[in-house]
Amino acid sequence: MPIETKTASRGELEARRDAILTRVGLTMDELTERRRSGSMTADEWAAWEELDGIGYLIG
């Protein structure tokens, strides 16, 4: 099975980050605080994981 490689520009990654935060209705600071306090929903946790990956790619 061939491996598919996807590419995204910095702008596309930033737009995706903004869309994720809009979907969960929180700012990055609010989501970070929820993670610290251990009170994240499953959707917020999924958002956090994706945002972490985007943060890694953006640098």
| Mean pLDDT, all residues of the chain | 95
Please count the structural domains in the chain: 1
pLDDT confidence of residue 6: 85
Q: Tell whether 40 is covered by a domain.
A: yes
Q: Tell whether 53 is covered by a domain.
A: yes
- Which residues constitute the domain of residue 20? 10-58
pLDDT confidence of residue 16: 97
Residues 6+ apart with CB under 8 A from 10: 58
Report which residue type is found at 9.
Answer: S
Tokens at 35, concatenated: 């993670």
pTM as predicted: 0.85
Dihedral angle over CA of 5, 8, 29, 27, nearest 10: -110
Q: Tell whether 1 is covered by a domain.
A: no
Q: Tell whether 38 is covered by a domain.
A: yes
Residues 4-43 have pLDDT tens digits of 988 999 999 999 999 999 999 999 999 999 999 999 999 9
What SS3 class is residue 51?
helix
Per this entry, what is the length of the chain?
59
